[in-house]
Structure 1
Amino acid sequence: MLPAEARKHLTFRNQPSVELGYSSMQLALLYHLHGIPMPKGELCEIPGTRWPRKACKAVLRISVGSSSKTQTVKSLANELLAMRLKAGRADELYEAFWDNHAAVRPHSIGSDTPWEELQALEAEIALKVLCYLAELDIPAVPIHNSFIVPAKYEAECHEAMQKGFADCALGISVPNCVDMAAF
């Protein structure tokens, strides 16, 4: 529950830390679960629009846990308000995002949102990453799809994240492992 801004100041025995996370992990895993190759480029951006990445990520996060488009759009409208964006454009954002990822679009006829599978796969990847780090005696704090480690172990964490993802999601590219302070 610690806000991202506060996590930047965590230390390990008074040594600075870094938080590395997967970029667009859930969307990459949705493509994997559907057996469809991932498109090129940044997955959580909509080409030709000015929607901020944060708003696009909200569409994804809310969609995979919602049972319907209506429920998603309603929740998304509240998030857009919190981002100081127009809540009335929630449906437009939903459509633009999922038109860009039509192959894995939830809430359409014949499409099941594999929420449980997605969560299980994310957890499996996180456990793999933590095991790789533990083997190296590197302390780590997992937060959803990111890991806080002492800054001096950034490269090792990056490598563990790549290996953990590759172990669990064969055949797809590992999403970029990014410093969460940049987001």
Structure 2
Amino acid sequence: MNTSIINRSEINYEWSQTLTKRSGQETKVRTAPLISNCGLTADWVTDMTDDLFPSLSNRASKPTRQAMQAALLNIANGVSERAVHGQPSGFLCELSNTSKKVPKRYRDHDYSSNTMGAVLSALEAEGFLECHKGYRTKGYSSGLSTLWLPTHSAKQFLSALNEMLVIEFFRQDTETLWLKSRNGGLLDYKDDMLTNDMRLLLRNTNDLRACVNWYYRPQGAASDVPGLHIGEALIPIGKRDLTFKRQFNETFNKGGRFYGNVQQLSKQERATITMNGEPTTELDIKSLHPRMLYNMKGIAAPFDCYDIDGYDRETMKTVGLIALNAKSELSAVRALANSLSTTHEYARRAIEAFRLKHQPIAEFLFSSSWSMLQYQDSELAKDILSEAADEGIPVIPVHDSFISSTSHAQKLSGIIHKQYEKRFGFLPVVEPTLRPVCQSSAA
């Protein structure tokens, strides 16, 4: 059992726009990923379940209690995120009369979507939640999922508790190798040597990471809810937050990135991470995706692919991310304008500046290159994590950067240089600059 979990919120622009239109007032609302694999555990949780569902059969008792535990944890997380950011924060969950069938390997709880819907509706009736029903625009296959926001009554109730909030995970063993369909659904698959090898590496690196003590200092205001945010104190990073999975798309040669809750920490928070009491260093491969594209074509990349006259680096980084992910230039312009809160004309000029700067790789723009690029960077991460594990170095991967103790940083930098050059034929630019322990693998 843990007393904390990392589950951060982001501004939900679609719901913010919808609520602004409905209320006539500028509204910013945040949502965090729905927590479904764990929940709050305490006698009062059991009592609340019994009070709201007094006629449960023995068969329905366990899944309903789990759904209540998970719902209350999502409420507590929303209360905490609002305290940190000063904006309404909740979660998305459909009210559905049909349960989606999830392949057995992925199941991390015992309740159905119907049961969760019943629990959320009961908590809404009790004044703990405010429900904004989702909708689907005519002519579109997808729309907005139902938004649930914790109320002031929920905050008061949780703040009045004289005990720390304790979290219980519903399953001890969880699948770490995920395969998703084009529409985001979970796909089953037959295990073979490839999947077994990938899962073994995940287990080994997850176990190595769990063998040491990781702490970080959270940003933002302290929460009134016991056990969620503790001001300036360093708080432990739990084992589940350090457990990574690999997520592929449709086949095992698309996507494949490593995902873990600890990646939700901000860059400033990651800088406070300690490992067994020692400061850590985050080694970042500079402008990874454009660099990979240059190198895959046998061309040396610029030192910083996002250094473009007339624009700041963060803007160009966003331009590159969107232009490489988009299916068309028009969709890229729209996405960039929305991301930067700017005009379509400015977005168009910024994209053109990026294209002119990077003509050797311009063919990859507006071609949905993300799946190929993510697979390549995930395979690079796999090789780095594998060699680091062989050296006994615990590492937190953050896609294009790698975190470990400062005492391991020089050796880890050498591993990153070696594995990048082995895969792409060129040395990467890694920051902060350290003299690698490992020598170049190329002649």
TM, length-normalised to structure 1 = 0.84
| Match in the other structure for 1:30 | 293
Contact 1:68 1:107 in 2 (8 A): no
Contact 1:124 1:168 in 2 (8 A): no
Contact 2:303 2:429 in 1 (8 A): no
Amino acid of the structure 1 residue aligned with 2:323 = S
Cα deviation digits, residues 39-80 of structure 1 (max 9, x gap): 44422111xx22011111111111111111111111111232
Aligned equivalent of 1:55, options 301, 305, 315: 315
For residues 91 and 36 of structure 1, the distance between their equivalents in structure 2, rounded to whole angstroms, comes to 29
User: 111-120 vs 18-27, which deviates more?
Assistant: 111-120
Which structure is higher in RCO with an 8 Å CA cutoff and minimum separation 6? Answer: 1
Q: Does 1:76 align with 2:336?
A: yes
Larger radius of gyration: 2
Shift of 1:175: 2.4
Q: 1:103 to 1:30 in 2, by over 3 A?
A: same
RMSD: 2.0
For residues 145 and 117 of structure 1, the distance between their equivalents in structure 2, rounded to whole angstroms, comes to 15
Gaps of 5+ in 2: 1-263, 434-443
Q: Does 1:103 align with 2:360?
A: yes
Amino acid of the structure 2 residue aligned with 1:45 = D
User: 63-72 vs 111-120, which deviates more?
Assistant: 111-120
| Match in the other structure for 2:382 | 127
Structure 2 SS opposite 1:117: helix
Amino acid of the structure 2 residue aligned with 1:98 = R
Which structure's residues are more often helix, by fraction?
1
Q: 1:139 to 1:107 in 2, by over 3 A?
A: closer
Amino acid of the structure 2 residue aligned with 1:44 = Y
| Match in the other structure for 2:268 | 5
Q: Does 1:156 align with 2:418?
A: no
Aligned equivalent of 1:117, options 368, 372, 388: 372
Contact 1:67 1:107 in 2 (8 A): no
- Runs of 4+ aligned structure 1 residues displaced above 6 Å come to none
Q: Does 1:67 align with 2:327?
A: yes
Q: What is the count of residue pairs matched by the alignment?
A: 169
For residues 164 and 105 of structure 1, the distance between their equivalents in structure 2, rounded to whole angstroms, comes to 26
For residues 134 and 122 of structure 1, the distance between their equivalents in structure 2, rounded to whole angstroms, comes to 18
Structure 2 SS opposite 1:105: helix
- % identity of equivalent residues: 24
| Match in the other structure for 2:221 | none
Cα deviation digits, residues 100-153 of structure 1 (max 9, x gap): 111211477xx8453322111101111111112111111100001100100111
Gaps of 5+ in 1: none
